[in-house]
Chain A
Amino acid sequence: MNSGRCAACKHLRRRCPSDCVFSPYFPANNPRRFAYVHKIYGASNVGKILLDLPVNRRAEAADSLYYEAYCRIKDPVYGCVGLITILHQQIHNAQCQLARIQAEIGALSTQSQSEVQQFQQVENVGPSFLPDQNGVPNSTSFYDLSTWFD
Chain B
Amino acid sequence: MKSYQEQPRSSSSCAACKFLKRRCTSNCQFAPYFRSDEPKKFAKVHKVFGASNVSKILNEVAEDQREDTVDSLVYEAEVRLRDPVYGCIGAIASLQHRMVELQRDLILARARLASYVGHCSLSSFLDDHGGLFMAPNFLDIPESNSLPFDQFGRFHFP
Contacts and interface: CB of A to CB of B under 8 A. Distances in A.
A80 interface: yes
A76 B88 contact: no
Given A102-B109, A108-B117, A63 B50 contact: no
B26 interface: no
Interface residues of B, number: 49
B99 A87 contact: yes
Given A94-B106, A101-B110, A64 B138 contact: no
Contact of A98 (B47, B86, B89, B106): B106
B10 interface: no
A47 to B, nearest CB: 12
Given A87-B95, A90-B99, A94-B103, A41 B49 contact: yes
Contacts of B158: 67, 70
Contacts of A112: 116
A147 B131 CA distance: 53
B36 interface: no
Contacts of B92: 80, 83-84, 87
Contacts of A44: 50
A97 interface: yes
Contacts of A80: 76, 88-89, 92
Given A45-B50, A60-B85, A78-B68, A105 B109 contact: yes
A109 interface: yes
A72 B57 contact: yes
Interface stretch (A4-12, A49-57, A136-144): A49-57
Interface in A95-120: 95, 97-98, 101-102, 104-105, 108-109, 112
Interface of A: 39-42, 44-45, 49, 52-53, 57, 60-61, 63-68, 70, 72, 74, 76-84, 86-88, 90-91, 94-95, 97-98, 101-102, 104-105, 108-109, 112
Given A60-B85, A67-B89, 6 more contacts: A41-B49, A63-B157, A68-B80, A74-B146, A98-B106, A112-B116
11 contacts: A39-B53, A45-B47, A52-B84, A64-B88, A72-B76, A76-B60, A82-B72, A83-B92, A87-B96, A97-B106, A102-B109
